[in-house]
Homo-oligomer: A and B are copies of this chain.
Amino acid sequence: MGSPAADEDLPQVLIIRNPPAFTIDGEEQFTSPKFRFLKAFESTLPPHDFLAARARSVRAMLASGGAVVDARVLQFLPELRLIVTTTAGLNQLDLPECRRRGIRIANAGDVYSADVADCAVGLLIDVLRKISASNRYVKQGFWASKGDYPLGSKLRGKRIGIVGLGRIGYQVAKRLEAFGCSIAYNSRKAKPGVSYPFYQTVQELAAKTLGKDGVIVNIARGGVIDEKEMVRCLMEGEIAGAGLDVFENEPDAPKELMELDNVVMSPHCAVFTRESLLDVARLVVGNLEAFFSNEPLLSEYEDD
């Protein structure tokens, strides 16, 4: 880091809301000698007032998943030319408005895919092989007093249905192939060069792969599943279990699931490993430094 005097001359990068990776073990991870942050979240001003007063000349901003950047925000940022996100998805951005204003976007690219795929597979193994539940059984001392734990289910030979075969879905498929599972998928259209059976609709895919002995794993977003209906199916045994990293009303998760040993829940942490947060911090800093040096961005998002 330069001296305070030199810092004053550095270009500013706006942050509306602190991204999760900003600090790890008390250390700021996004530091650079080439820019400094303008932190809206540290101001006592209401966000829009802060933007109007302080951010008119800002040319770059960092947007985490929770920080909505809509047309209303963008109108306060006439000089903005770059948004760098700590996310792979861009749901928090008004993409048409960004395009209209000529704002480039650099996202987290593929940084999280492996970790999310690992989490999906981990949740599936956990549910099928009852790892969390039997761990609790052993730790409560029941092994010695009550004997063997109920049988788990085998992974080999299981039919896996993947809804959306993007980067993450494909990595889940590759992992589960190594376990001897057979893969099928649904997406808007069949992927070229992919040999897994393709189903036009989620319903057709589910008819082939789910059912009374089936397990649902969700590492995407809570909203992609009708949570009430899933809870009902789990309570009534219409499906055999679930591994869930995401929920409709986080950080709340459905109370009915808390007592179910065949449901394994993690607190929306599929992307959160120390390594992936360090990786995304490096990528964000690299994108911002490249921008201010007029060099190609490391992970520029291109509209289809």
Contact = CB atoms under 8 A, between A and B. Distances in A.
A222 to B, nearest CB: 13
Q: Interface size class for chain A?
A: 35 or more
A154 B123 contact: no
Nearest to A115: B154
A258 B259 CA distance: 21
Contact of A151 (B118, B252, B274): B274
A253 interface: yes
Interface in A259-292: 259, 264-267, 269, 272-277
A267 B138 contact: yes
A179 B266 contact: no
Given A118-B125, A126-B131, A178-B175, A269 B148 contact: yes
A32 interface: no
Interface centre among A24, A149, A266, by most chain B C-beta atoms within 10 angstroms, is A266
A203 to B, nearest CB: 27
A166 interface: no
A196 interface: no
A139 interface: yes
A66 interface: no
Interface in A150-176: 151-157, 174-175
Contact of A178 (B119, B156, B174): B174
Interface in A112-148: 114-115, 118-119, 121-123, 125-126, 129-132, 134-139, 141, 143-144, 147-148
A253 to B, nearest CB: 6
A177 interface: yes
B129 A273 contact: yes
B264 A154 contact: no
Interface in A208-260: 250-253, 257-259
A136 B121 CA distance: 19
Given A129-B273, A154-B115, A275-B153, A138 B180 contact: no
Contacts of A24: 151
A131 B266 contact: yes
A143 B253 CA distance: 9
B267 A154 contact: no
Nearest to A275: B154
9 contacts: A122-B125, A125-B125, A130-B266, A131-B131, A132-B132, A134-B269, A143-B253, A153-B274, A178-B178
Given A130-B266, A151-B274, A178-B178, 13 more contacts: A114-B155, A114-B156, A119-B131, A131-B132, A132-B135, A134-B266, A135-B264, A143-B250, A143-B251, A143-B252, A144-B251, A144-B252, A151-B269
